[in-house]
A = this chain, B = another copy of it.
Amino acid sequence: MRFSKQRQIVLDILLESNDHLTADQIFQRAQEKDTNISVATVYRNLNQLEGRGLINKVNRLSTVSLYDGNIEPHDHLHCRKCLRLYDIPKKEVPNIIDQVAFNTGHTIEQAEIIFSGLCQTCKAEEMKS
């Protein structure tokens, strides 16, 4: 992986900051350091850096929202092979809210969990080969 001046700047901004930044915020900060950088470069670098595990992206599920008629509280499993999203009823998931609230000092009202891995079906197929 090549480290251009721009890529380095994007990475530095993220490493220096303790916050979570939007691409646009990163773009603005980068402009202050380098008069000539484009949004496209910022996005391309963010994708590259994330792909190599150098940075983290929150909200990675997809760019579109998904809607669900199931309003019973539940979590999700995102299968990395078939990419399907499965519902996981809350009763299958140990409740960790009190423990985390105690450990962190925040007031926690809800937890929304996205599991990832292989669904039953894809796991079975993987076995065959």
Contact = CB atoms under 8 A, between A and B. Distances in A.
Given A66-B21, A106-B117, A93 B100 contact: yes
Contact of A104 (B17, B77, B101, B110): B77
A1 interface: no
Contact of A110 (B17, B69, B101, B117): B117
Contacts of A111: 113-116
The listed residue with most B CB atoms (<10 A of its CB), out of A15, A18, A71, A119, is A71
Interface of A: 11, 14-18, 20-24, 26, 46, 50, 53-71, 76-77, 79-80, 85-86, 88, 92-94, 96-97, 99-101, 103-120, 123
